[in-house]
Amino acid sequence: MSFQPKIVGFLCNWCSYAGADLAGTSRIHYPPNVRVIRVMCSARIDPTFVLKALQEGADGVLICGCHPGDCHYTEGNYKAMRRFPLLKRMLASFGIEDARVRLEWVSASEGQRFADIVSEMTEKIRALGPSTIKAKLNTDRVER
């Protein structure tokens, strides 16, 4: 039985969540490894969410937002776009592989694209193997 990655997906309500819904309506099949959490805008994604997910044992994190220029709140995805490189550098310094955390733009009409992204990411992470973060950390949780 090959390793089944657990991927947490943060999808924005207006574009990417709708795109994932469209994949469902179109009955486009993809691997069952992603678990979606809905936010209103990709700008809502605090980098600590990503860290929390990895800490709780996620093997990968996928953040999806509207294509630049199409954000329902005008500029939210630009904020996500700005935060992301900093987050990646931080993760890299923790030794977390680049392929584990991704930022993608998925529009409400791109059901197939969402499915393709999930499939691709699942295979890449399967090849990388399970994340060792949860095991290495002690059980102290970060509480706010």
Partner 1 sequence: MEETRIGVYICNCGTNIAKVVDCEAVAEAMGKLPQVTVARVYKYMCSNPGQDMICQDIREHGLNRVVVAACSPRMHERTFRAAVQSAGLNPYLLEMANIREHCSWVHEEQDAATAKAMALTRSAVLRVAKHEPLEKMSADMCPFTLVIGGGIAGLTAALELADAGHGVYLVEKAGQLGGTLARDDLTAPYLDSARDLMTERLTRVGQNEKIQVFLGAEVKKLSGFIGNFNATIRTAAGNGTGEERSVDVGSVIVCTGYQEFDASRITHYGYGKLPNVITSFEFERMLRAGRIQTHEGRIPQYVAIVHCVGSRNREFHGYCSRVCCMTALKYAHEIKSAIPGVYVSDLYIDMHAFGKGHEDFYRHSSEVKTLFLMYGKNAHPVIRKAGRGDDGERLLEVNEQLSGEVIEIPADLVILMVGMEARQDAGEVARLVNISQDKDGWFIESHPKLDPVATTTEGIFIAGTCAAPKDIPDSVAQARAAAARILGKIAKEKIEIDAVFAEVNEDLCSGCRVCNELCPYSAIDFDPVRRRSHINSALCKACGACGAACPSGAIKARHFTDQQIFAQIEGVLS
Is there binding between residue 15 and partner 1 (CB under 8 A)?
no
Find the binder of partner 1 among 40, 86, 92, 127 (CB under 8 A). 40
Q: Is 29 an interacting residue with respect to partner 1 (CB under 8 A)?
A: yes
Per the CB < 8 A criterion, the answer to whether 117 and 62 are in contact is yes
* Residue selected from 15, 63, 83, 104 as contacting partner 1 according to rule CB under 8 A: 83
- Residue 141, Cβ neighbours under 10 Å: how many? 9
**Torsions phi, psi for 94 (to 5 deg):** -80, -5
- DSSP, collapsed to helix, strand or coil, labels residue 48 as helix
Cα distance between residue 3 and residue 130, in whole Å: 7
Tell me which residues touch partner 1 (CB under 8 A).
4, 6, 8, 13, 17-18, 20-21, 23-25, 27-32, 35-41, 43-46, 48-49, 52-53, 56-58, 72-76, 79, 83, 115, 144
